[in-house]
Structure 1
Amino acid sequence: MEPLRSTELCPDETQLVSRSRRLSAPPDPRTALSMADAPRTLWAAPDEATVVGSGAAETIRADGNDRFRAVREAANELFATGDVHAGTLSARPRLFGGFAFHDEHDPAGPWRGFPGARFVLPETQLTYAEDGTWLTVHGVGRDVEAVESALEAAADRFDGATTPRPPAGPPGIERRERTTSKDRWRESVTAAIDRIEAGELRKVVLAQALQTALSRPVSLPDVLTRLADTYPDCYRFLIEPDDGGAGFFGATPERLVGRRGRTVETGALAGTTGRGDTPLEDEWLAEELRSDAKNVHEHELVADAIRDQLQPYAASVRTGERGVRRLATVQHLETPITAELAADEHVLSLVEALHPTPAVGGLPPDKALATIRDTEPFERGWYAAPVGWFDAAGNGSFAVAIRSAVAHGEAATLFAGVGIVADSDPDREWDEVQLKYRPILDELE
């Protein structure tokens, strides 16, 4: 594998050193995550390698409305020189992390340790790729011998590690508290509809938060393993602050953007119904979703906006056929969208251009975000924001962090939202929020 720039550098000029080796008897991802040091990282996505990260060789943080550019520039500096030897492409250095939903983000309460943007280069990572499982050690400001020695020590620790036990069951919920009452919800949705009918908005996504007290501390490796069984085609993630005192995790069906070379993949995911108790009822619900005017309108707003947001960067944009995406508890309307870039663009430029999509924000974006700020009685934090990874070439993969929660000790806060358009019904939208809590709630109660 070629180095980032050149291995013919004086030791004091080399900032990043990376070494990898294939493991003959690797632990499964749950065991690897249980063995990992804080801050722990997990990224598992459809058609991608699964990565478990341990510790931090380097951390990039930024705040404010300039945070996308600040992260990109800091990463460019980190990756500018390096001595990298990786046995497979997916084991090369990547930064994992994400962003807060709002530019003005308050990292307090459950979001302590989660700034406006934060990305980690894991000190040690396991990459579960098609050509085997690779152990990688990254060092910044460390000499080659120290990194190679750390790789051998990590190999002794991980290779042949056995799974100590099957995943534990859910911790159980002793108490739950809604941040939004049903009466306040009706008032908020009605006020949003009034703004839409007055022409101030076309759509806005309103969310709720559910605070839970657990019977015992949650085991995130166990929760994520169960989510993998139930939602194998979703983007599963774990991001921890430096001290590992909390964990933001989820299993989201919504891709924000993936970039490899000049090929970009994204899509619209909006419009929701439940699952049926029988195959016949399931298909009936799917057909009703396909023809429901409210859901189709909401979906088309999202698809049109994503195409418009990509247009300044693209030589061409192609839209696939709209279909129904079936998950364990819900069904969504989904339209795949691909583009070819007119020039090389860093994936973070595309992330900034697309966030927030109307599927989690609204239209027009500025007025929708102001409405969300005025209406929601809690801090969204990183909920519904971009989470993912990128590399030295500007390639990367990001998802929208829905179907998610932030856990700390014996407490977890869950988030869910719905799109409000002119013909929304407050009670039906309330029921949809409760349905969207289920993926995480089922793993806790």
Structure 2
Amino acid sequence: MNTEVSSIHTKTETIQQMLQLGLKSEGSFAFWRKPNSSLLEMVLDESSTPQKVELNIETLEPGFVVHPFADQEDKKAYFIKANKYLNFHLDNPIEIDELPEWAKIQLQGEEKLNAKEIRDLLLGQTQSNSNQFSETSEDKDHFIQLVKDGIQAIQDGLVEKVVPARTKTIKIPEEFNLGCTLLSLMNSYPNAFINFFHIPNVGTWIGASPESLIETKGDYFYTMSLAGTQPAFGDNPLKTAAWTQKEIEEQALVSRYIVSCFKKIRLREYEEHGPKTVIAGDLLHLKSDFRINMQSTGFPDLGSIMLNLLHPTSAVCGMPRKESHDFLQKYEGFDRSFFAGFLGPVNIQGETSIYVNLRTASLFSDQAILYSGAGVTEDSDPQKEWEETELKCKIIGKFIQNPQS
């Protein structure tokens, strides 16, 4: 069989080749596409031993960070160092000659794997991943009771808001095509951070997050508050959306928390825009944007400072942070792992973009665990909160179970 590198004519084939490069290396890798962008990027660290780093964003080498929901004892994040990096624009004609030299050299000695071979290679490498399955976290009655307990805790004055989560396990079908799944996510969710990462013996995850945690670009720092959820209906859902007082207050709580973080470090000069209705796939949310000039305000390391102050945000944990986190640790009944943690590229081409790990699934063996949560306030309806988590699970689940070309 001819093993020479040939031109790549489809986006899916290019993504398949990127997956092949990563999986064949037996190291850690990640690739992603930022919101409202056509640039697909990849970092690869061929070391077989996962690396962890302290979160001093400004001094980190280029790479990709992954941090779980709960703090580790060492307070560190997993780090995929950009020993090798490539990117290409999805909307341009794609040729193998455009890949960097290291990728061309590696591919020249290998036969191009098809979708089934990629699937088998992927699932073979995820068998050793930690299985986060929990019968408790899959049970509807448990989640309904969890919401009721959350409402009671709010009425008792223990918390203002709490965000319980659950899981849903699905089978990865025989015809699963990871390249098609990722491309379909990119096409369907242009406003989301589409991501895939694989860290041997740690985790393999796929996601389409709608929520930026922090971003630094040049002199500017950015963050957002995102909360409130409803299905997107009709030809123009942004204009027909109607928000309840419960949802408006839920989003306002997140914005107030961000502002309280600014006050805590005595940062007084910031821009706030919103809230406004935004669309993320099949769902609508309320969003406010914040922007700060780090140089003029005297906070050149604001990225690291705010990352520490914001995580876990009230949108994925609750308010006050410590009390809501304690509630979840006591009653939720499972390990969230990387769900509602954060991830993203650091110091890649002069930018850092960290996102909350939402609308996500972990892959292991021939199964995928879907994760979702719902913001609970005093006005919450437990059945409706369950239905909201079902909608969120479908965002990733439908693409895993129904591969598209």
Same fold by TM-score greater than 0.5: yes
Amino acid across the alignment from 1:56: E
Unaligned runs of 5+ in 1: 1-23, 80-93, 107-114, 138-149, 170-175
Q: Percent same amino acid among aligned pairs?
A: 22
Q: Match for residue 81 of structure 2?
A: 121
* Cα distance between partner residues in 2 of 1:165 and 1:218: 8
Q: Aligned partners of 1:329 and 1:364: how far apart in 2?
A: 30
SS of corresponding position for 1:53:
strand
Counterpart contact for 1:347–1:394, Cα < 8 Å: no
Contact 1:203 1:420 in 2 (8 A): yes
Task: Give matches, 1:352-367, under 5 Å.
Answer: 352-367=308-323
Q: Which residue of 1 aligns with 2:46?
A: 56
Distance 1:217 1:178 in 2: 30
Alignment partner of 1:375 is 2:331? yes
Matched residues in 2 for 1:198 and 1:428: separation? 22
Residue 375 to residue 178, structure 1, CA distance change in 2 (3 Å): closer
Q: Secondary structure in 2 aligned to 1:444?
A: helix
Determine the structure 2 residue equivalent to 1:253: 210
Deviations 1:338-371 (A, max 9, x none): 1222221063333222111111111110011111
Contact 1:208 1:416 in 2 (8 A): yes
For residues 163-209 of structure 1, give each alpha carbon's deviation from its aligned partner in whole angstroms, at most 9, with x where no partner exists: 9689x99xxxxxx9772423222221111111111111011111001
Pick from 280, 295, 320 the counterpart of residue 327 of structure 1: 280
Amino acid at match of 1:103: D
Task: Give the deviation of 1:268 after TM superposition.
Answer: 1.0
Cα distance in 1 for partners of 2:214, 2:104 equals 36
Partner residue, 2:126: none
In structure 1, C-alpha distance between the alignment counterparts of 2:91 and 2:181, rounded to whole Å: 27
Question: Which amino acid in the other structure matches residue 404 of structure 1?
Answer: T
Aligned to 1:206: 164
Rounded to whole Å, the distance in 2 between the matches of 1:339 and 1:231 is 27
Q: Equivalent residue of 1:357, what SS?
A: coil
Match for 1:296 among 228, 232, 248? 248
Q: Match for residue 32 of structure 1?
A: 17
Distance 2:350 2:266 in 1: 15
Q: Distance in 2 between matches of 1:395 and 1:37?
A: 23
Distance 2:43 2:232 in 1: 35
Letter in 2 for 1:414: L
Instruction: Return the offset for 1:229.
Output: 1.4
1:414–1:437 CA contact under 8 A, matched in 2: yes
- 1:135, 1:234 → 2: CA distance? 25
Post-superposition offset of 1:328: 2.8
**Amino acid corresponding to residue 83 of structure 2 in structure 1:** E
Q: TM-score, normalised by structure 1?
A: 0.72
Provide the C-alpha distance between the structure 1 equivalents of 2:301 and 2:194, rounded to a whole number of angstroms: 26
Residue 65 of structure 2 corresponds to residue 101 of structure 1:
no
Does the 8 Å CA contact 2:16/2:115 hold for their aligned counterparts? no
The AA in structure 1 aligned to 2:185 is: L
Query: In the alignment, is residue 45 of structure 1 matched against residue 30 of structure 2?
Result: no
Which residue among 128, 137, 140 is the counterpart of 1:182?
140
Which residue in 1 is equivalent to 2:388? 432
- Which aligned pairs between 1:65-144 and structure 2 lie closer than 5 A? 70-72=54-56, 76=59, 79=61, 94-104=62-72, 117-128=77-88, 135=99
Change (3 A) 1:254 1:272: same
CA contact (8 A) 2:254 2:315 kept: yes
* Counterpart-to-counterpart distance in 2, 1:297 and 1:47: 28
Q: Deviations over 1:137-157 (max 9, x none)?
A: 8xxxxxxxxxxxx47725867
- TM-score, with normalisation over the residues of structure 2? 0.79
Once residues 177 and 44 of structure 2 are traced to their aligned partners in structure 1, the CA distance between those partners, rounded to angstroms, is: 16
Matched, 1:350 2:302: no
Q: Deviations over 1:286-327 (max 9, x none)?
A: 1x22xx100000000001111222342745211112211123
Shift of the 441–179 alpha-carbon distance from structure 1 to 2, 3 Å rule, reads same
C-alpha RMSD over aligned residues: 3.7
Alpha-carbon distance, 1:26 to partner: 9.0
Shift of 1:379: 0.7
Task: Give the drift of 1:25.
Answer: 7.5
What residue identity is the alignment partner of 1:332?
A: H
* Structure of greater Rg: 1
Separation in 2, partners of 1:216, 1:165:
10
Stretches of structure 2 that go unaligned for 5 or more consecutive residues are: 1-6, 120-133
Shift, 1:119, TM fit:
0.8
* TM-superposition CA deviations, 1:73-116 (whole Å, max 9, x none): 9x94x75xxxxxxxxxxxxxx2112101101489xxxxxxxx96
